[in-house]
Amino acid sequence: MSDEQPAAKPPEAKNKVQRKIPRVEQAAILLMSLGESDAAQILKHMGPKEVQRVGVAMAQMRDVSKDDVTYVMGEFVEAVGGQTGLGIGNDEYIRAMLTQALGDEKAASLIDRILVGGNTTGLDTLKWMEPRAVADMIRYEHPQIQAIVVSYLDPDQSAEILATLDEKVRLDVMMRIASLETIQPQALQELNDILERQFSGGATGQASRIGGVKRAADIMNFMDRSIEGRLMDSIKDMDPDLASTIEDLMFVFDNLKDVDDRGIQALLREVSSDVLVVALKGSDEAVKEKIFKNMSKRAAELLQDDLEAKGPVKVSEVEAAQKDIITIARRMAEAGEISLGGAGEEMM
């Protein structure tokens, strides 16, 4: 028997720092680790934005290390350790993510197993379509029908649909959305029936409350800045009070100063430093102070140095970066991860 002692691990192995893995990449690693069948059961409960973001992450994933998988599993166990279930609803949004992640042929059989007998309604089916395709479907419908369809869909998809419509039609539809509070169940049922005859969807939902000024503001938030500006000017010409109310409800980048500290910290974990630097170049000083306050002293100093070294940035680039961050903030708010507060958020 040898008297030699086992070799000690190299210092670098002991002190190896686990890379920071973005949340969406963590979700992709977890799903790919589970296998098709189990992953499908989870995907049934995810929303359209979630499946698309996770799908892109899965499709782009290469050479995942064992350390990364171990880290992700540990994070997952810790996150759900005190819970009795995932607590997430709806089983209608998986087609886009599976197709992006697995390809058309491989996804087809899995989609059939998951979606057969599901509860996708005619209107819900539109959520799977490209905005331009939806716009083409409703282009020659009555503006009230257009308003119902657009207000039913997610705000970012609605914004893209409206962007393809004629400017006068866009204004008419937005005004109708703002004044649309409820719709009779029978009317919604009839619209669903028409769409289901085209898509062969499942049972219809019971939702009858759609639209409203808040919905109009949500849609405006996702519009291209130039289109948003022209549309808001037109609304002001027709109804200044309505325009003022919509503006009050719109969440803009400077409203981040109204988000609580915990929300800012959670948001910063999802935003890349490059995007943050560009976004802050054109921001209010109060927003900058809010950001710096919720970073470590070292990180805040580095961010300030990056801002000073960045030099002039095009207004269009600043606006694009700010919209990216607003989109992330809205997604997190919809998931219940943060509360936006202030403009764009209903207060209890």
pLDDT in the model for residue 206: 42
* pTM beyond cutoff 0.85: no
* Section 58-84 average pLDDT: 73
Q: Side chain identity at 265, as an amino acid letter?
A: Q
Q: Hey, where are the domains in the chain?
A: 23-115, 122-249, 253-334
Residue 344 pLDDT level (bands cut at 50, 70, 90): very low
Kindly indicate whether the domain formed by 122-249 is annotated with CATH number 1.10.220.30: yes
What residues have CB less than 8 Å from 69, skipping those under 6 apart?
29, 33
**Average confidence (pLDDT) over 144-165:** 88
Supply the pLDDT for residue 77.
67
Cα angle value 84/86/91 (rounded, 5°): 135
Per-residue HEC secondary structure of 75-117 comes to: HHHHHHCCCCCCCCCCCCCCHHHHHHHHCHHHHHHHHHHHHCC
Q: Which of 110, 25, 107 is nearest to 62 (CA)?
A: 25
Residue 151 has pLDDT above 90, yes or no: no
Q: What is the pLDDT of residue 342?
A: 43
May I ask the CATH architecture of the domain 253-334?
A: Orthogonal Bundle (1.10)
Do 253-334 and 122-249 have the same topology in CATH? yes
Residue 71, pLDDT > 80, answer yes
Look at residue 237 and tell me whether its pLDDT is greater than 90. Answer: yes
- Alpha-carbon distance 96 to 258, whole Å? 35
- CA–CA distance, 290 with 283 (Å, rounded to integer): 11
pLDDT > 90? residue 258: no
